[in-house]
Structure 1
Amino acid sequence: MLNQDLTRRGFLGLVGAATAGLGLAACGSTQVESSNAAPAEQAATVQSAAEKVRGMSEQEEEEAWKKEPAYGKTLNLGYTGGLCLGALGLGLSNGFYQDEGLDVTIVNMSSTTDALGSGKVDVAGDHIATLLVPATNGVKLTMAHAAHTGCKSLYVLSSSDIQKTSDLVGKTVGLPDGIGNSDQNISMRYFNKDGVDINSVNWKAVTSDAVVQALQSGEIQAANISDQFAYPFVADGTLRAIRSITTDDDFKNEPCCVVSFNTDFYQQNPVTAKKFVRAFSKASQWAQDNKAEFVDILFENSWSSGDKDVALDLANKYNFVVNDSTTEAALRDIITDYKKFGVIESKDDVDTILDNVWAPVLA
């Protein structure tokens, strides 16, 4: 059993947390009915739909698209800004969605998991470490394409004697997004990769605005933090990273975030999903090739804030183009790790779980 507050309820709480008070406004896109199909049956249907559209010609696509419920309707995109998922906004600002014939509107959301699972948004992006566990526990979301690599690291005080994860045995790691969420899921993989028992570490929820003070007071000895948040503290010598999904060789090529659809929407509108992913893929390639302009667009649209030079420096460390085969391999590794940790409680094998959560739609 994991230390401190990490309980089964903590993990499963990802599925239903914060449903009260979400208050997401309806935005006029196609509302899909919840499917009554069993997860395995629904996964098979989604996989079949994705496989069919992957092989379509352009003419076949257009004919099939006209028969979909979402044809001619507004597509609700869940996006709250940020550098990491900036290509979602870029698809709108630079006309990539429009080029595919899509009418896309951005919807703010409090929780990607709740917004996708409830159908309040049709598509959104977030950490694999955030979405994977709820998806295996029945939340209706299907991952379709990677967004980028990198974005978080395990930080300690620069003055600390801690140099590696094994130095944290018996010590406490702070988690700005709370117990059982992405910061913990990512951190456990650091320790596992290094052969350190995840049960030998204590875990503590610490709010982002208090995480540096918690390190300085000795309340925690390390914290998994967004690189963008940590940047000024690294620059002034307060913090240093000892492990990172952004720069470490064993993590830096893995996708951090993925684009996901409400599963019912994806099942009913696979051509629409393909068009969106194709547009997003083009936006991602543009961002990769034009990082300075990309960052400028994010700031101009208030999709990013803070120091623009910092954002550009970080963008230069991220890869916004990750192919589906790399994403699938990473998902296999992550699912394997999460099953080992008990984060994923399903007794299904890795291939079955993968089919239930991942359905790439591009050829």
Structure 2
Amino acid sequence: MKSKILKIITLCLILMSIALVSIGCQKSKEDEQTNKTEDVSKVDKKTNKKEDKKVKKKIVVGQNGGICQAPLVMAYEKGFFKEEGIEVELLKGDYPTLRDGLATGKVDVSDGLVVTWLKPIQNGLDINFTLGIHTGCISVVVPKSSKVKGFEDLKGKTIGVSGGIGGGSMNFGYRSILRDGLNVKDYNWKDFPAQQLITALEKGEIQAAITGDQTAHAWIESGKVNVIRSSTHDEDYKDEYCCLLGIRGPIVRDEPEVAEALTRAVLKAAKWVNENREETAKIMVDKQHVNGDYEYNLNLLKSYNYKPSISGGKEAIRTSIDELKQLELFDKNIDIDKETEKIYKELKNVE
């Protein structure tokens, strides 16, 4: 009897041991699964944290349909913006459209002539420049039959400009007159839409015209005009950056990582354009980013120096402010260096 009871007790103990081992194994598996879940969670958090650092932003890029703005478009077409985590909408418009868009936040970034943008900035337009993109792009022309060789011969005459009185073309004329040691008060000025300048020249309404090469190049090619001053070819201009990358001030101040990403993308694109001009011209024409045929736009591209420069952009701002101050278009008491630092921002993480 005692032996039978002992056997029953032993059996119970064995069963309890098996149960405890089973529970332990199950617990071990659960703990292992929990640990795996915790490890995955940590990895996910790390991954998410890393992804959070990557710029994810939708940006409106404004361009005016000129071939000189090819780096902006190529940054979009060749994926340089996308590499930086930026989703881009391209908006084509004339200078007033882009200026007003930047002022109201409908446009976030564009590029353009330094002398076109400086006066609006003085009047309150909140943008900063971050990169010199290329040199060149404005010409002063006279009729082929004209005996005018320079601004000295135009004293008392009327000069037609595009972009408005006080705009980029006129300011280029002002700066050239200053550099030639002459007085801007000796000249008359009249504004025309760019394409109408050639007609005004032929009718004798104006004796010279100043406009962008996108328009003037056709007149030069057809033999209708002579060039008397050029920001593309003249020794005192050919190494000066004319077009800079402009970004809305709030982005530069409040979202510096976005401003840096934009600048890096356009810098890469400008270098790409410099090395791939034929493909650039083809894309720009085929996708109707510009007017004119392939050969016309390729010839223009070949005349520009697409070697982006941070220091070159800053120096262009400083030079322009200095000359506009001499011309009394800026406050005579303005500190050139401080104003340059205010307008042009050298961003971190951009090389």
Length-normalised TM-score, structure 1: 0.78
Task: Map residues 178-327 of structure 1 onto 2, 5 A cutoff.
Answer: 178-327=164-313
- Single out whichever of 74-83 and 144-153 deviates more from structure 2: 74-83
- How far did 1:65 drift? 9.0
One-letter code aligned to 1:91 = A
Q: Aligned pair in 2 of structure 1 residues 241, 91: CA closer, same or farther (>3 Å)?
A: same
Q: Which of 59, 63, 85 is 1:75 aligned to? A: 59
CA distance in 2: counterparts of 1:65 and 1:163, whole angstroms: 60
**Number of matched residues?**
300
One-letter code aligned to 1:123 = V
Q: Which of 71, 95, 119 is 2:79 aligned to? A: 95
CA distance in 2: counterparts of 1:80 and 1:226, whole angstroms: 12
CA distance in 1: counterparts of 2:279 and 2:326, whole angstroms: 42
Say which SS state the counterpart of residue 267 (structure 1) adopts. helix
Contact kept? 1:109, 1:115, Cα under 8 Å: no
Q: Which of 99, 113, 136 is 1:127 aligned to? A: 113
- How far did 1:122 drift? 1.6
Deviations along 1:280-334, one digit per CA (max 9) or x if unpaired, are 1111001001111111111122111212111111111101113121222221111
- How far did 1:81 drift? 2.8
Percent of residue pairs identical: 31
Q: Which has the higher contact order (CA 8 A, sep 6+)?
A: 1
Q: Aligned pair in 2 of structure 1 residues 96, 202: CA closer, same or farther (>3 Å)?
A: same
One-letter code aligned to 2:65 = G
Aligned to 1:47: none
- How far did 1:67 drift? 7.0
If each structure's helix is expressed as a fraction of its own residues, which one has the higher value? 2
- How far did 1:125 drift? 1.2
Say which SS state the counterpart of residue 116 (structure 2) adopts. helix
Aligned to 2:14: none
Larger of the two Rg values belongs to structure: 2
Aligned to 1:340: 326
Say which SS state the counterpart of residue 272 (structure 1) adopts. helix
CA distance in 2: counterparts of 1:265 and 1:178, whole angstroms: 28
CA distance in 1: counterparts of 2:330 and 2:268, whole angstroms: 33
Aligned to 1:105: 89
- How far did 1:228 drift? 2.4
Contact kept? 1:288, 1:319, Cα under 8 Å: yes
- How far did 1:64 drift? 9.9
CA distance in 2: counterparts of 1:90 and 1:74, whole angstroms: 17
- How far did 1:232 drift? 2.6
CA distance in 1: counterparts of 2:316 and 2:237, whole angstroms: 9
Length-normalised TM-score, structure 2: 0.81
- How far did 1:347 drift? 2.9
- How far did 1:345 drift? 2.8
CA distance in 1: counterparts of 2:109 and 2:139, whole angstroms: 27
State the 4+ residue runs in structure 1 displaced beyond 4 angstroms: 62-65
Q: Aligned pair in 2 of structure 1 residues 313, 190: CA closer, same or farther (>3 Å)?
A: same
Aligned to 2:343: 357
Pairwise CA RMSD of aligned residues?
1.9
